[in-house]
Structure 1
Amino acid sequence: MTSAEEQQSEAVMDFATRLFAAFGYDGTTLQGLAEAMGYDLQWIHDRFGDKRALYLSVIERVGIAQRAVVEEALAALPARDPAGVSAALHTLTDRYLDLCLANPQIPALWMHRWLGDAADIPDLEERYALPVINLIRDALRSAARNGLVDGGADLDLTVRTLIWSVYGFLHGEALARPDPPDPDDPRTRPRIQAHLHRLLDRMLKLPET
């Protein structure tokens, strides 16, 4: 594949991600994508396959991006004291928040799934979402065994609560007034960040840093 073809393919993937995030899998057509981009529909079919195949490629890319952020942040987690664990977990939440702020289509895609989008495509959560959740949960379990976080907390739900908070704040709260969290507002990140840190501190009984 030439450099120009690679750029063209990347442009299609980016645009398809935005379309699926905005309208869901069920509300998106390849014909509409091709017309909006001014591309030949047959070329898109030849390059990506049908709509299902393109959607799976989008979800896989999203899953890889999420996992990369989590794995990089978790590399700092094997700290030997509660303060070090607290700092590492704050870094993890910050990086995941930054990923979602920079790519709001990521939470939007998963929220469509929660509402029954692409119901005929099973196991996407098991393949891409649950492994990331389990990575963090297992790291927390290790810290709990070492007495560094509260072992009485439901660590699986702790991780999910953080994800729900980010997704809901960025998308669900957009329906509320008078203070919707505009991702471009410089006050948004520190507001959510401070809330997530405190939430994590309280759930895991961490020392505040």
Structure 2
Amino acid sequence: MTFADGGQRELILRVATRLFAALGYDATSISQIAEAAGLDVATITQQTGSKRELYLAVMDWVHEMELASLRKATEGAPVTSPEQAAALVRRIIDQYLDLCVTHPEVPALWMHRWLSDASDVTELERRYSQPIRELVKSALAPAMASGYIDPGVDMEYLLWSTLWCVNGFSQSGVLDEHGNRRYMDDPEVLRRFRAHLHRTIHRTVTFPGASP
């Protein structure tokens, strides 16, 4: 995790991110953050403001990380064939999946929100989901215009389905044949999930002539 700030503020943001991801916003107090950071409550509020303001700073960081990851996958990517369109979709999937592997706090924070955590902070979905949707839709527009993507595909729901799958898998893992729960920090589990997600999205989009 990299924040622009240094010193105490960066420490507070790091600790708050970890606790919000583990416990949720509602179950985390400023005093818990202060104790985990080795600081007093007065220092926390002086550096970052209220718990709500601290939470907003953490979610801003998450959003910027997600946007940067998607831009890396989409910028400068030509789409002049079904194969290039399929490769672009795979890059978008892989960038978000790899982000969640490297920063599991990202899907954890969103999963808490999906379970009505921080329900009084209502503006985040509207503020953050629209730029991501527009970025992905804009990147895939040439593929749709060229007929490389089935025009019957609901791209907005396809994007949400991908987020649901990746975020849910990152938090719940999968049960193996022995009943043991395994997560995406297991390389073989991650490999199988990635391959499954690629194939699922590929068959939904139905790229003509492109192999999954």
Residue deviations 1:69-120 (CA, integer Å, cap 9, x gap): 0111111443100001111211111111000011111111111111111111
Return the alpha-carbon distance in structure 2 between the equivalents of residues 179 and 93 of structure 1.
Answer: 26
| 1:107 alignment partner, SS class | helix
Partner of 1:163: 163
Partner of 1:136: 136
Residue pair 1:141, 1:155 contacting (<8 A) in 2 also: no
Q: State the TM-score, normalized to the length of structure 1.
A: 0.91
| 2:181 alignment partner, SS class | coil
User: Which of residues 202, 207, 211 is equivalent to 1:208?
Assistant: 211
Return the alpha-carbon distance in structure 1 between the equivalents of residues 180 and 148 of structure 2.
Answer: 36
Q: Could you tell me how far 1:179 is from its partner in structure 2?
A: 4.8
Instruction: From the superposition, tell whether residues 142 and 126 of structure 1 become closer, same or farther in structure 2 (CA, over 3 Å).
Output: farther
Pair 1:96-2:99 in alignment: no
Partner of 2:195: 194
Name which of structure 1's ranges 59-68 and 193-202 shifts more when overlaid on structure 2: 193-202
Residue deviations 1:161-193 (CA, integer Å, cap 9, x gap): 11111011111346x562533232121221121
Q: Percent identity?
A: 38
User: Which residues in structure 2 correspond to 1:28-177 (within 5 Å)?
Assistant: 28-173=28-173, 176=175
Pair 1:15-2:15 in alignment: yes
Name which of structure 1's ranges 42-51 and 32-41 shifts more when overlaid on structure 2: 32-41
Residues matched between the structures, number: 204
Residue deviations 1:28-63 (CA, integer Å, cap 9, x gap): 001011112211221111110010000000000000
Return the alpha-carbon distance in structure 2 between the equivalents of residues 172 and 29 of structure 1.
Answer: 25
Unaligned runs of 5+ in 1: none
Residue pair 1:21, 1:106 contacting (<8 A) in 2 also: yes
Name which of structure 1's ranges 142-151 and 130-139 shifts more when overlaid on structure 2: 130-139
Residue pair 1:143, 1:149 contacting (<8 A) in 2 also: yes
Task: Report the AA paired with residue 158 of structure 2.
Answer: T
Instruction: From the superposition, tell whether residues 179 and 199 of structure 1 become closer, same or farther in structure 2 (CA, over 3 Å).
Output: farther
Q: Could you tell me how far 1:152 is from its partner in structure 2?
A: 1.0
Residue pair 1:77, 1:85 contacting (<8 A) in 2 also: no
Residue pair 2:8, 2:47 contacting (<8 A) in 1 also: no
Residue deviations 1:130-186 (CA, integer Å, cap 9, x gap): 321232133334421121211111111111111111011111346x56253323212
- RMSD between aligned residues: 1.7
